Amino acid sequence: MPQLNPAPWFFILVLSWFIYLTIIHTKIMGHTFPNEPVVSADKLEPKPEPWNWPWH
């Protein structure tokens, strides 16, 4: 059974992780957002208190 031989598959696994960690990861982390997040005034207002419903 050739699929039990770990030699070629382990090399492919190590090579693919090496490519991911060196090339693809740096390209993904190099992206910047065009707008910085801003807290709007709506988020700063206190929330209204919940209604006190009778539970009977």
What does the block give as tokens for 43? 């988020």
Specify the higher pLDDT residue, 1 or 55: 55
What does the block give as tokens for 22? 């060196």
Write the secondary structure of the chain as one string of H (helix), E (strand) and C (coil). CHHHCHHHHHHHHHHHHHHHHHHHHHHHHCCCCCCCCCCCHHHHCCCCCCCCCCCC
User: What is the pTM assigned to this prediction?
Assistant: 0.42
- Note the residue count of the chain: 56
CA 33 remoteness from chain centre: 15
Q: What confidence tens digit (pLDDT) does each residue in 3-56 have?
A: 677 778 888 999 999 988 888 878 888 877 777 777 666 666 677 787 777 776
